[in-house]
Structure formats: structure tokens, C-alpha cells
């Protein structure tokens, strides 16, 4: 199992009461992000329970030394790019020191307390300036389900089990959790219509994905070998790759999705580190019999042994009707990151095998991660079979696709016997009407 | 015709002798860029003849006032992003002042002279930090020619004449002219092979494109109406969208080109302004009979009247054999920007019709612009019919695709009766062997 140390100890408790048993941010997590306290400017912070630790303030109080200090300095600007670029060791040192500072018995509790802000009073921002955003397609159940609807005769194309398929997305429209999403307009064409029309999408969808933050980059022209790929990952987030299916169906050939996707992507604001996720790494599930072996540049024994992630991924829907009746959000799907056909290391090795350069703060999406059955769909297109079978909610409402006022909430959760469960914080956004 | 003023006067001459009759940079052009003089840091400049005017130095010498001063201030950092964001009016004022300063009879010649650097001694950089790069597909002859090879039965897909097809490209690997391009490796599959292989591409290609620099951006969720699209263009460049055709053929379905394109794109380093190009604007060529009318969001009378560009686009090849024998570069194709099926304004209106936000310094590619006949191919895939008909060079060499050591050179040139011809400067790069 990847490096497990004292920061993962399940018995570790914080002197900050809200951290203990917190569903997302117990002391075993310590994700990094960028926030503004009330009336303050954007700055880096660490989520702990219901609070955020101001890293620059802690740095100014002299709470860090050596490598941890260097990492905290890199993390004390208005974006985390310089911190993401550092690589694992300084990040690990800073994490260890933060764990020490926040743990019961910390000698520095009195110095740390003034550096905490109530998270509820703060605004979360994108954690980094995103240079390039690439979205993959590694959820094989999703690829199969959607392929069946777009290409009934040919759901999974011949390249799928050889190539970690990916494409470039739009960086400018990536928003932190909480930013409303405007229903996009665009061209679409009814299958039996003579020509296309223009208007607000009628088939608005979410996509349940993991996001991967690139840490250290690579020089243009130099591939990252798969055995080194893990060292280039700085963290993870949730990613909702909103999609307009009617626009997509009409525009996507031959160059792929464009306006169907680039109107907004929502991410959870906290960077959950590879260190925090170490307990939840698992072996790659064996490939089904008959599947081809990956080409050598995508093969690594360590990656096979511990390159997959066991993370529950959940998507929930809160509609105006549910809200009005005081009902809970409806679970649209419960999936797991273990359903990725390719690992993150394989994604990175593939992305750079042609010399393409990744930069610190680049974001990779996994693509929609659905599970093998109908309770684990990562998009409404799958859950309703393209709108044919509406979802019926406890409020009496029906949904074939998303309506204005609907809020979609993604959650991730790591659970493993002997370890404290951790979460990612929410990735949520509400649809506002087309302009 | 778009605003023509005294800066376009063909009789205007500069006191700098190399500017007069310069093929690219006479006083009627005045493109902006970022350069380093020997031993100096990156800074903004203006190309004039064989020299570059250091804008920050000119600013420090008190050569600008009012709006021109504001524009020069925005243009005096290490990237032009803030300048690009300004919009047309300050840019026009700065251009007018630069024209005055550099013209024969300028009262300030003595103050300007120390601000000039010999271009040959300087290094050119990317003019802006590129947030997002989008590549379109508006060259209808290219789309038809390539479609015939990838989809013989179905060259031009049903959406082509309705949708200005585009997709997201990679910003990190965009390089200024002169940066060598490493031959990429990747997965490809021979049509009759059982599985794919991995290796250096055997079908390396160039693509002759115009690049469009985005100036003022738009807020997320707010479309740019076509009538306002022109105001969001800050300038133009040449763009070589290098492509690995064997990788592309295997990877591109269903999400579009990825590693086949993102290993490098080369641009010319100078931002040629819409003002400099005003004399070369022409009416959109009439759509062939039977073609559908564009949907209303893509229709604008002024755009129909003067939204197209009459610019010669040339692509040349210099091989090791030609070089060794002292022979000239071989012209691979001579095309024209008038062969775009969609205008730049239509590209921008389409890109933002779903609310997608453009930012200052974003780059749009037009896609390959080929002409209607075999002398006007914008890619070698077209010129050799997919490698079937090799090009024979004066050196005796043959080319089906690009070889290591080959240099591809793009040029653009505006010519119009009554106006001084201008060019873009070169967009050139040499292929180095795969690593």
C-alpha cells in the first residue's frame, strides 16, 4: 500500500471539535484550496472540520520550518499553482506539520486558533489558474451506455480498450462549486427535421467525474513514463461536466464535443492530496477475459497493484419541488472510482506519450464514471435511457433531463476498514434559465 | 470598407530605410509582439522593417499621450494580454501615434531611434499567455478533401454547412515561430493489422491556418452577438497545426483529435491588427446554390459585406536536400483566406452562443484553409492524396509526409490595388527526430 504514516492514524483527533467525525474534512484529510474570508482577499487555506486554516497567516506566525515552510510559502499566494508544482515531498512535509498543529495536544494550538476562519463565512475559489483542461473517457460503463444511444450498432469503438481516449475541454468556463450554471442555447436538430434550429437546450445533463490536478509538469517533447506518472499528480476533486445532449448529437462529428460541454464545468474547490487518498488505493480490477493487454507504455506493475482508487462517487438532485416540500435530495446514482477502465497514471502516460507538455495547475477529468448497473449511472442520459424512462421523485416531479432550478450535487467518499473516512466537500450548482 | 485612415496611405514612408518596401513590416502594418533584445528580458514591441521598437522604452521617453499612452502602458509588460483586452479604440490611437513617430518627417525621430533593436538580434516570444485555444474547421475545401480520405462515402458531414465546427486544442504546446518540433510518437493501427502499435508517427503533416487573437472577452453566460464579434478581435497570426495522421485516424472517434495535434502548434509571433488588415477585407463569397442560409445568430449584413479577408496564404517546404544543394524552398501550396466558409465573426458568435466565455489572449484557429484546386492544398495529406502521390522536389527528394529535418514555412500577404502590401512575418519550424 502507498505510504501510510501517522497522519492517517484513525485515532488521531483534532482540538477543533468540528473536525472529529466530520464527513469530509477530519484531520486525516487536510485538503488545500483558495478562499476569501469576509471582506478579505483570496488566499490559500486548508479545510479542517467546519473551519479553514489561513496558510499565509500561519506562515506569518512562524508555524512552519524547513520543507514545510517552503511548501507553505509556495501555497500562500492567490492560486495554488506554485504549490502544486512542488511535487510530493514538500507537500508531505507540510501535511505532516499541519496534522501536528491541528492534533489534540498540539503545543501551538493558541497560535493556530487565530488563523482559523469559519468555512460558512468564506467564499471558495478555483484553487489554481487552470492552463489546460483535458477530459478523458475512462468510465467504460458510461462509454458503453452512451455509445448504445449515439451509435446503437457500435457502442464501444474498436480503439476504446487500447487508447485512454481523451479530448481537450475548455478551461475558461470551469467554476467552483456553488456558481450557478446558465442553461445554454445552441444549434440542434431533431432526427426527422429538415434543418437545425437554435434555442435553449432541452436535454441538459450532468456528468459525474473525478478531476485530477497536475502537479509537476513535463517539458514539451518529453514523455512522462507511466512509472513516474504518480509523481505528477498533486490532487483530486469532483467534476461535473455539464452536457447539452441535443447540441452534442448535432455538433460532435467529426471533431468531438464543443459547445455541448464548454458552457460550464463545476468542480469541488478543495484539492484532496494523493497523501490523503493513500489508504483508498487499490489494485486495478482485472480486465475482462478477451480484453487486450495495454501496450507497454501503459503498463506498470506498481500501477496495476495500487493504481486504482476505491472512492464512492454519488450524484444527487435537489429540485424546486423537493425543496418546497422540505424533502431530501434524490440520489441519482452511486458509483465508484474503481469503475475506471484506465488509471490516472495511464491517463498521464498516454497524454504525454507524444511529448505534449502538462503544466502545474492543469486539470484532467476522468470522464463520467458509471457503475455496471442502473443504480450507478453518472449521467441522466444513462439513468433515463436518453429521456425515455423518466425519473420519478418523492415530490411527484418527473425528470427526463434537468430543469431550471434543479441543483445537482456530487460527493466523493473514501471508506476503508481501519481508516478514518474522508470526503471531497461538495460539488454543487443550480441551473438558471437561458438568457 | 472598414475604417481606412492616414495610417493606410500607400505613399507613407518611414525614416527607417528597411521599412520602405519591406515585404512584411512596412509602416502600414505595425504589428505588436513580445521580444527579448540580446541579454534583455521579454518585453512588448512593434515590428518596423528590419527593426523592433521597444514600447516600454518609447513610453519611458514620453513619446505617447492620452489614449495612445494608456494603450502603450497596457502593452509594456512581458505579455500583451492587457493590451489585447483594450478593444479597438486605444489600439487605433496607439497605431496612429506609432505611424506618426516612424514616418518621414517625424519630429521625434531622434527620441525613437534609441528605442529600436535590430530584429535579427532579438528573440521573439509568444505575444500573449494563451488561456484557451480553439481550432475551427472553416476551410471547406480542406474539410471536403480530408473527409474524402477518412470517410469516402461521407466527406462533408450533414452539420458542416450549418455549424461552424470547432473543437478545443492544447494551449501549452503552442510555440512561436522557430521552435523545433519533435516528431511525436503514439498509437496507430494499420487498417489490416489486428491491434495497434506504438512508435514515431509515419504520417507527419502541417496545416496552413490563420490564427485569431481574442481581445476583449465576454462574461460567462453572455453570448457575443455577431454584430459585435469584430470588436472582440485583437489581431491575427499564422498557425501551423501540426498533425500526425496515423495517430489521428486511430484515436479520433468518438471525441475528436487529441494526441495527433497537441504535441505542437507553431504560430507567427506578430499580432497583425484588424486596423492593418482593413484594406484587405472583402465581402463573403456567395454560398454555392443549394447551400442553406446560416441561422439568424450567424447572419449579419455588415459581416456579409466585409467580413471576409483577402489574404494570400502560402506554405513552403525546405528539406535537407534542398538546403544542401542551395535550392529554394518548395511551394507546397498557395491558398487564400477568402476560402473560409465561415467568417471570423461567425466563429466568435458561434463559440459564445452557448455562453462560453472568451478571454483576452485566447487564440482561435480557422482550421486548414485550402483552395479549390491542387495547387492550393493546406496540408500534405491533401497534396499527396494521403501519401499516394508523392511530391517530387527539385533536389530529387520525394515527400509523401514530412521527414526529420524538413522545415515548413507559412507566409501570409495582403495585396490590394491602391494599398501597400503587408505580410505577417514567418511561421516556420523544423522537424527533429522522435526521442
Q: Tell me what pLDDT residue B150 has.
A: 74
Task: Calculate how close chain B gets to A349, using CA atoms only, in Å.
Answer: 11
Instruction: Please check whether residue B9 is in contact with residue B1, taking contact to mean a CB–CB distance below 8 angstroms.
Output: no
Interface with B, mutate which of A151, A193, A355 (most B CBs under 10 A): A355
CA dihedral A366, A372, A377, A381 (to 10 degrees): 90
**Main-chain phi, psi angles of B138, to 5 degrees:** -90, 0
- Measured between CB atoms, which of A195, A263, A292 is closest to B354? A263
Q: Tell me what pLDDT residue A153 has.
A: 83
**A250 contact residues in B (CB cutoff 8 A):** 159, 163
**Chain B CB within 8 Å of residue A256 CB:** yes
Interface with B, mutate which of A258, A263, A292 (most B CBs under 10 A): A258
- Residue A383 CB contacts under 8 Å (≥ 6 apart), including other chains: A332, A333, A374, A377, A391
**Chain A CB within 8 Å of residue B15 CB:** no
Q: Is the pLDDT of residue B76 over 90?
A: no
- A110 and A248 in a single domain? The answer is no
Is residue A432 in some structural domain? no
Domain boundary among A352, A371, A390: A371
DSSP A309: E
Is the CB of A172 less than 8 angstroms away from the CB of B132?
yes
Is the CB of A353 less than 8 angstroms away from the CB of B162?
no
Ligand-binding annotation for A261, yes or no, is yes
Is residue A420 in some structural domain? no
Angle subtended at Cα A429 by Cα A424 and Cα A434, rounded to the nearest 5 degrees: 160
**A251 contact residues in B (CB cutoff 8 A):** 159, 163, 165
Is the CB of B220 less than 8 angstroms away from the CB of A172?
yes
What gap in Å lies between CA B434 and CA B305, rounded to an integer? Answer: 47
CA-nearest residue of chain B to A247?
A: B354
Ligand-binding annotation for B7, yes or no, is no
Ligand-binding annotation for A151, yes or no, is yes
Is residue B1 in some structural domain? no
What gap in Å lies between CA B368 and CA B373, rounded to an integer? Answer: 14
What gap in Å lies between CA B139 and CA B342, rounded to an integer? Answer: 8
What SS3 state is found at B55? helix
Annotated active-site residue in A142, A232, A339, A350: A142
Burial (0-12, 13-18, 19+ Cβ within 10 Å), A226: buried
**A252 contact residues in B (CB cutoff 8 A):** 254-256
Name the residue range of residue B53's domain.
6-125
Is residue A327 in some structural domain? no
Is the CB of B256 less than 8 angstroms away from the CB of A255?
yes
**A357 contact residues in B (CB cutoff 8 A):** 172-173
For residues B155 and A117, the model is more confident at A117
Cell of A254: 467529426
- Summarised one tens digit per residue, pLDDT across range B256-274 is 999 999 999 999 999 999 9
Is the CB of B166 less than 8 angstroms away from the CB of A244?
no
The arithmetic mean of pLDDT across residues B280-309, rounded, is 96
**Chain B CB within 8 Å of residue A173 CB:** yes
Is residue A57 in some structural domain? yes
- A264 and A206 in a single domain? The answer is yes
Q: Tell me what pLDDT residue B408 has.
A: 98
CATH of the domain at B387: 3.90.850.10
- Summarised one tens digit per residue, pLDDT across range B111-147 is 999 999 999 999 999 999 999 999 999 999 999 999 8
- B204 and B121 in a single domain? The answer is no
- Measured between CB atoms, which of B166, B182, B354 is closest to A185? B354
CA-nearest residue of chain A to B221?
A: A182
* Domains of chain B: total: 2
Contacts of residues B82-86 at CB distance under 8 Å and 24 or more positions apart, as own/partner, are: B82/B360, B83/B32, B83/B44, B83/B234, B84/B128, B84/B213, B84/B214, B84/B215, B84/B234, B84/B235, B84/B271, B84/B360, B84/B361, B85/B215, B85/B216, B85/B217, B85/B234, B85/B360, B85/B361, B86/B215, B86/B216
- A107 and A227 in a single domain? The answer is no
- B121 and B140 in a single domain? The answer is no
**B182 contact residues in A (CB cutoff 8 A):** 220-221, 355
Cell of B387: 501519401
Q: Tell me what pLDDT residue A152 has.
A: 84
Is the CB of B252 less than 8 angstroms away from the CB of A252?
no
Q: Is the pLDDT of residue B377 over 80?
A: yes
DSSP H helices, A108-206, are 109-112, 140-150
- A82 and A176 in a single domain? The answer is no
What gap in Å lies between CA B362 and CA B274, rounded to an integer? Answer: 16
Is the CB of B258 less than 8 angstroms away from the CB of A221?
no
Pairing of strands A133-136, A363-365: parallel
Is the CB of A254 less than 8 angstroms away from the CB of B150?
yes
What gap in Å lies between CA A386 and CA A278, rounded to an integer? Answer: 37
Ligand-binding annotation for B248, yes or no, is yes
- B23 and B138 in a single domain? The answer is no
**Chain A CB within 8 Å of residue B268 CB:** no
Count of A–B CB contacts within 8 Å?
A: 199
Is the CB of B167 less than 8 angstroms away from the CB of A168?
yes
- A145 and A43 in a single domain? The answer is no
Task: Calculate how close chain B gets to A288, using CA atoms only, in Å.
Answer: 17
Is the CB of B255 less than 8 angstroms away from the CB of A165?
yes
The arithmetic mean of pLDDT across residues B403-430, rounded, is 98
Q: Is the pLDDT of residue B1 over 80?
A: no
- B119 and B156 in a single domain? The answer is no
- Measured between CB atoms, which of A170, A252, A355 is closest to B182? A355
Is residue A389 in some structural domain? no
CATH of the domain at A12: 2.30.30.230
- A95 and A138 in a single domain? The answer is no
Q: Tell me what pLDDT residue B2 has.
A: 72
- Measured between CB atoms, which of A167, A262, A264 is closest to B258? A167
Domain boundary among A75, A102, A125: A125
**Chain A CB within 8 Å of residue B172 CB:** yes
Task: Calculate how close chain A gets to B158, using CA atoms only, in Å.
Answer: 9
Is residue A280 in some structural domain? yes
**Chain A CB within 8 Å of residue B350 CB:** yes
What gap in Å lies between CA A229 and CA A115, rounded to an integer? Answer: 35
| Residue B353 banded pLDDT, cuts 50, 70, 90 | very high
**Chain A CB within 8 Å of residue B288 CB:** no
**B256 contact residues in A (CB cutoff 8 A):** 167, 252, 254-257
Burial (0-12, 13-18, 19+ Cβ within 10 Å), B327: middle
Q: Tell me what pLDDT residue B321 has.
A: 98
B-contacting residues in A 178-237 (Cβ below 8 Å): 182, 184-187, 189, 195-198, 220-223
- A255 and A353 in a single domain? The answer is yes
- B319 and B266 in a single domain? The answer is yes
Q: Tell me what pLDDT residue B192 has.
A: 87
What gap in Å lies between CA B357 and CA B224, rounded to an integer? Answer: 9
Ligand-binding annotation for B207, yes or no, is yes
| Residue B191 banded pLDDT, cuts 50, 70, 90 | confident
Would you give per-residue pLDDT tens digits along chain A (435 residues)? 578 999 999 999 999 999 999 999 999 999 999 999 999 999 999 999 999 999 999 999 999 999 999 999 999 889 999 999 999 999 999 999 999 999 999 999 999 999 999 999 999 999 999 999 999 999 999 999 998 887 788 889 999 999 999 999 999 999 999 999 999 999 999 888 999 999 999 999 999 999 999 999 999 999 999 999 999 999 999 999 999 999 999 999 999 999 999 999 999 999 999 999 999 999 999 998 899 999 999 999 999 999 999 999 999 999 999 999 999 999 999 999 999 999 999 999 999 999 999 999 999 999 999 999 999 999 999 999 999 999 999 999 999 999 999 999 999 999 999 999 999 999 999 999 999
Domain boundary among B86, B103, B125: B125
SS3 content of chain A, % helix, strand, coil (to 5): 25, 25, 50
What gap in Å lies between CA B343 and CA B303, rounded to an integer? Answer: 8
Q: Tell me what pLDDT residue A76 has.
A: 87
**Chain B CB within 8 Å of residue A262 CB:** yes
Catalytic annotation on A350?
no
**B186 contact residues in A (CB cutoff 8 A):** 353-354
Task: Calculate how close chain A gets to B138, using CA atoms only, in Å.
Answer: 12
Query: Could you tell me how far CA B315 lies from the centroid of its own chain?
Result: 12
Instruction: Please check whether residue B378 is in contact with residue B335, taking contact to mean a CB–CB distance below 8 angstroms.
Output: yes
Paired residues of A236 in beta bridges = A212, A272
Is residue A376 in some structural domain? no
Amino acid at each position: 500500500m502507498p505510504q501510510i504514516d501517522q497522519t492517517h492514524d484513525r485515532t488521531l483527533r483534532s482540538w477543533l471539535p468540528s473536525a472529529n467525525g466530520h464527513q469530509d474534512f477530519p484531520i486525516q484529510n487536510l485538503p488545500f484550496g483558495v478562499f476569501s474570508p469576509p471582506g478579505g482577499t483570496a488566499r490559500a487555506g486548508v479545510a479542517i472540520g467546519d473551519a479553514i486554516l489561513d496558510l499565509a497567516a500561519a506562515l506569518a506566525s512562524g508555524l512552519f520550518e524547513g520543507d514545510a515552510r517552503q511548501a507553505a510559502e509556495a501555497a500562500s499566494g492567490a492560486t495554488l499553482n506554485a504549490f502544486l508544482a512542488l511535487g510530493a515531498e514538500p507537500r508531505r512535509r507540510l501535511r505532516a506539520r499541519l496534522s501536528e498543529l491541528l492534533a489534540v495536544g498540539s503545543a501551538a494550538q493558541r497560535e493556530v486558533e487565530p488563523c482559523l476562519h469559519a468555512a460558512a463565512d468564506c467564499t471558495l475559489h478555483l484553487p489554481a489558474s487552470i492552463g489546460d483542461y483535458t477530459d478523458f473517457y475512462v468510465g467504460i460503463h458510461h462509454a458503453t451506455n452512451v455509445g448504445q444511444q449515439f451509435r446503437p450498432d457500435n457502442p464501444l469503438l474498436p480503439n476504446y480498450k487500447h487508447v485512454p481516449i481523451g479530448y481537450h475541454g475548455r478551461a475558461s468556463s470551469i467554476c467552483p462549486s456553488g456558481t450557478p450554471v446558465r442553461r445554454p442555447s445552441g444549434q440542434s436538430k431533431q432526427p426527422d427535421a429538415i434543418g437545425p434550429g437554435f434555442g435553449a437546450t432541452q436535454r441538459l445533463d450532468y456528468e459525474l467525474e473525478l478531476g485530477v490536478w497536475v502537479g509537476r509538469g513535463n517539458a514539451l517533447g518529453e514523455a512522462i513514463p507511466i512509472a513516474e506518472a504518480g509523481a505528477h499528480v498533486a490532487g483530486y476533486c469532483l467534476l461535473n461536466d455539464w452536457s447539452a445532449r441535443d447540441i452534442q448529437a448535432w455538433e460532435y462529428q467529426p471533431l468531438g464535443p464543443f459547445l455541448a460541454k464548454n458552457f460550464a464545468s463545476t468542480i469541488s474547490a478543495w484539492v484532496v492530496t494523493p497523501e490523503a487518498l493513500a489508504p483508498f488505493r487499490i489494485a486495478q480490477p482485472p480486465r475482462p477475459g478477451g480484453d487486450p493487454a495495454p501496450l507497454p507504455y501503459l503498463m506498470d506493475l506498481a500501477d496495476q497493484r495500487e493504481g486504482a482508487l476505491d472512492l464512492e462517487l454519488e450524484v444527487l438532485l435537489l429540485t424546486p419541488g423537493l425543496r418546497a416540500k422540505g424533502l431530501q435530495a434524490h440520489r441519482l446514482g452511486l458509483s465508484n472510482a474503481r469503475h475506471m477502465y484506465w488509471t490516472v497514471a495511464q491517463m498521464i502516460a498516454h497524454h504525454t506519450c507524444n511529448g505534449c507538455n502538462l503544466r502545474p495547475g492543469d486539470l484532467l477529468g476522468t470522464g463520467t464514471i458509471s457503475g455496471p448497473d442502473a443504480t450507478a449511472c453518472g449521467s441522466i442520459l444513462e439513468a433515463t435511457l436518453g429521456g425515455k424512462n423518466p425519473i420519478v421523485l418523492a415530490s411527484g416531479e418527473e425528470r427526463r433531463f434537468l430543469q431550471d432550478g434543479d441543483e445537482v450535487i456530487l460527493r466523493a467518499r473514501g471508506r476503508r476498514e481501519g481508516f478514518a473516512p474522508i470526503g471531497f466537500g461538495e460539488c454543487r450548482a443550480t441551473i438558471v434559465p437561458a438568457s
